[in-house]
């Protein structure tokens, strides 16, 4: 099998690339996905998000023991189906802060400043509320549907926003617009009450193009190299048959922040000591491959409701689940049409900061008070009404790495994020919990609040830290493990055109190329990276925009 381009990974980035590269009928494209088709029923239902974890559509990775967290191993869900994590995530559409991208450019990556990337955000977006928002920042003709939750909303979302205002957090109706800071309703990748994944938006409409071949249940084993040039891939099919595919022009890795570096290392591109230990022949010593792992973390400030039937917990009761499912099946309305999240606030823990460093996710559901609930398994959640504020560390200073467990490509990668090993991360997260507690105790929640139940004791920072140790979870936003940078930076894996340094015909286009993590959920930035990456692959001129106002 020979193609012009081979894309490894049909996740958020891979689906975009397949669409854009195959738009020219003279270009042949192979898209290879280890998971199966996205036919699982729950993939369509926004509220069924947590039903997808630890299933066949989830890689189900785990970290190494975390020394700062009493040696806890942290669960790392990753989408394993067409659409990747866009098919299994909470559907939040968050671009981040202008300065995140200006930082990338300042690190020696021309073309990646905010004014450079904004046109690519706009290109992908079809915003249902376009006429109500600032057109300088939004699109209405892109494939990806973005919307506020219009089919269903609990009264708790309004209570959260009112409580934010009462504690000094101003209202912001569009955190993807001129300013990020403030509190507002979430924007989601949902359409007509159904999840709108990258597969649904970018791949399904064009999947029958004769110049596009999509292989599912095809696990890539390595990139084939010849004289420092990528010539194709080797993969194993669901029938356990090893096959090869040849690329005339380029191989593009879009396997995500864990598996793109793993594939590079399995192919002999990576830190020589890591490769030697795993028994992999070194073809290119690249010390930065797998390094620079960054991720977002959150913990919960959970409250019990004084009223019944108003939170998502109510719909976890079997009879109520059936009613909600019936409403979704008949009309695509009701509580099944929403993400587990409803509202959000981007805040600063210190006023002199140049951008928010804390994100308060708000969900109209709670997880109980005994720390035994599995955040990623709704079947373990209580059915009593409640709500939760999740203070999220946006700019962690703790940095980890991805390595190899062995030379076996079917083994999971070794994931060592080193969570909260930097003292500043602990301090900032404790402050974030205190700010979340201020919101939880504000009068806006008065009609609905029975009591704050976690943390059970917040009389001191030590008690808050004990709470964090027990309930901290990843938001599963890993990035940075194939970071872009200049030739002067030996830890840079790709250049500003996303080409792997020292290897011709090989690019990485996904979350792993971010040199620093963005200030918010990562799916929208990954789709932007793929939009821009497609233009880079095709040698097109950068897209321009009149959208020059700053996100501040």
Burial of 194 (0-12, 13-18, 19+ CB in 10 A): middle
Kindly state whether residues 39 and 178 are assigned to the same domain: no
Query: What is the rounded CA–CA span in Å between residue 286 and residue 491?
Result: 7
Share of the chain above pLDDT 70, in %: 98
422 carries an active-site annotation:
no
Q: Does residue 275 sit in the same domain as residue 356?
A: no
Cα–Cα nearest to 293, from 415, 207, 209: 415
Model confidence pTM above 0.85: yes
Tell me, yes or no, whether 548 lies in a domain.
no
Q: Are 401 and 416 in contact (CB under 8 A)?
A: yes
- Asked if the model's pLDDT at residue 477 lies above 90, the reply is yes
In the chain, pLDDT over 90 holds for what percent of residues?
88
Residue 111 lies in a domain: no
Q: Is 179 inside a domain boundary? A: yes
Co-location of 353 and 449 in the same domain = yes
Same domain flag for 281 and 305: no
Question: In terms of domains, do 345 and 487 share one?
Answer: no
**What confidence tens digit (pLDDT) does each residue in 359-391 have?**
999 999 988 776 667 777 777 888 889 999 999
Helix (H) or strand (E) segment spanning residue 20: helix 12-21
Give the C-alpha separation, 523 to 475, whole Å: 12
pLDDT in tens, 206-218: 999 999 999 999 9
CA–CA distance, 139 with 129 (Å, rounded to integer): 10
Contact 257, 529 (CB under 8 A): no
The count of C-alpha atoms lying within 13 angstroms of the C-alpha of 164, restricted to the half-sphere facing its C-beta, is 25
Sign (positive or negative) of CA dihedral 276, 278, 284, 287? negative
Same domain? 217 vs 271: yes
pLDDT in tens, 171-216: 999 999 999 999 999 999 999 999 999 999 999 999 999 999 999 9
SS3 state of residue 346:
strand
Residues 281 and 220 in one domain: yes
CATH number at residue 364: 3.30.410.40
**Strands 386-393, 284-285: pairing kind:** unpaired
Instruction: Assess whether 157 and 278 both reside in one domain.
Output: no
Domain annotation covers residue 108: no
What per-residue confidence (pLDDT) applies to 552? 37
Do residues 363 and 456 both lie within one domain? yes
535: exposed, middle or buried (C-beta count within 10 Å: 0-12, 13-18, 19+)?
middle
Residue 449 maps to a domain:
yes
- Torsion sign (Cα): 457, 461, 467, 471: positive
465 in Cβ contact with 426 (< 8 Å): yes
Q: Kindly report the average pLDDT of the chain as a whole number.
A: 95
Backbone angles phi, psi at 207, to 5 degrees: -65, -20
Alpha carbons 415 and 256: distance in angstroms, whole number: 13
Alpha carbon 43 to its chain centroid, in Å, reads: 16
Same domain, 333 and 263: no
Verify that 432 and 524 share a domain, yes or no: no
Domain co-membership, 493 together with 375: no
The C-alpha atoms of residue 299 and residue 474 are separated, in whole angstroms, by: 9
- Is position 132 within any domain? no
CA distance 338 to 46: 5
pLDDT reported for residue 372: 65
- Does 113 map to a domain? no
Concatenated DSSP letters of 384-418: S-EEEEEEEESS----EEEE-S-S-TTSPPEEE--
Overall domain count for the chain? 2
Yes or no: say if 156 and 387 are a contact pair by the CB < 8 Å rule.
Answer: yes
Assess if residue 129 is contained within a domain. Answer: no
Q: 465, 383 in Cβ contact below 8 A?
A: no
CATH classification at residue 236: 3.50.50.60
444 near 165, Cβ under 8 Å?
A: yes
Rg (CA), the chain: 22
Reading the block at residue 29, the tokens are 């494209």
Structural domain boundaries, residue 465: 150-185+296-398+420-471
């Amino acid at each position: 099998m020979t193609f012009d381009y081979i894309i490894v990974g049909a996740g958020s980035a891979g689906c975009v690339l397949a669409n854009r590269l195959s738009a020219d009928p003279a270009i042949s494209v192979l898209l290879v996905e280890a998971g199966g088709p996205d036919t699982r029923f729950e993939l369509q239902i926004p509220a069924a998000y947590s039903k997808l974890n630890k299933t066949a559509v989830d890689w189900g990775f785990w970290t190494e023991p975390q020394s700062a967290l009493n040696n806890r191993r942290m669960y790392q869900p990753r989408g394993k189906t067409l659409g990747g994590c866009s098919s299994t995530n909470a559907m939040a559409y968050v671009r981040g802060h202008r300065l995140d991208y200006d930082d990338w450019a300042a690190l020696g990556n021309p073309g990646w400043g905010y004014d450079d990337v904004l046109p690519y955000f706009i290109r992908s977006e079809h915003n249902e509320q376009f006429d109500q928002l600032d057109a300088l920042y939004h699109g209405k003709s892109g494939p990806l549907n973005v919307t506020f939750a219009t089919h269903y909303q609990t009264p708790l979302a309004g209570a959260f926003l009112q409580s934010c205002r009462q504690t000094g957090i101003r209202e912001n109706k569009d955190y993807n617009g001129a300013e990020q800071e403030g509190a507002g309703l979430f924007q989601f990748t949902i359409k007509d009450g159904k999840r709108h994944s990258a597969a649904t938006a970018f791949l399904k409409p064009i999947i029958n193009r004769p110049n596009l071949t999509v292989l599912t249940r095809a696990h890539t084993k390595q990139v084939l190299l010849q004289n420092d040039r990528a010539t194709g891939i080797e993969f194993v099919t669901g029938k356990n048959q090893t096959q090869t595919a040849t690329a005339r022009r380029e191989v593009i890795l879009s396997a995500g922040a864990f598996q793109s570096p793993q594939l590079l290392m399995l192919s002999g591109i990576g830190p020589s000591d890591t490769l030697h230990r795993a028994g992999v022949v070194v073809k290119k010593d690249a010390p930065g491959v797998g390094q620079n792992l960054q991720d977002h973390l959150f913990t919960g400030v959970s409250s019990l409701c004084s009223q019944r039937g108003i939170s998502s917990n109510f719909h976890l009761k079997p009879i109520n689940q059936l009613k909600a499912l019936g409403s979704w099946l008949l009309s695509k309305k009701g509580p099944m049409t929403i993400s587990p999240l409803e509202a959000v606030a981007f805040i600063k823990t210190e006023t002199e900061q140049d951008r928010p460093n804390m994100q308060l996710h708000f969900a109209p559901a709670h997880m109980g008070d005994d720390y035994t609930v599995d955040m990623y398994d709704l079947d373990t959640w209580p059915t009593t009404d409640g709500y939760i504020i999740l203070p999220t560390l946006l700019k962690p200073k703790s940095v980890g790495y991805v390595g190899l467990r062995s030379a076996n490509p079917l083994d999971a990668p070794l994931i060592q994020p080193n969570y909260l090993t930097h003292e500043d991360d602990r301090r900032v997260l404790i402050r974030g919990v205190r700010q979340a507690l201020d919101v939880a105790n504000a009068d806006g929640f008065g009609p609905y609040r029975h009591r704050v139940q976690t943390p059970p004791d917040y009389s001191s920072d030590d008690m808050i830290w004990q709470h964090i140790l027990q309930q901290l979870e990843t938001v599963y936003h890993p990035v940075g493990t194939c970071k872009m940078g200049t030739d002067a930076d030996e830890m840079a894996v790709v250049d500003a055109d996303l080409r792997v340094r020292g290897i011709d015909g090989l690019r990485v286009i996904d979350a792993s190329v971010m040199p620093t993590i963005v200030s918010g959920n990562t799916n929208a930035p990954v789709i932007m990276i793929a939009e821009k990456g497609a233009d880079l692959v095709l040698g097109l001129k950068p897209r321009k925009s009149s959208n020059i106002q700053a996100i501040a």
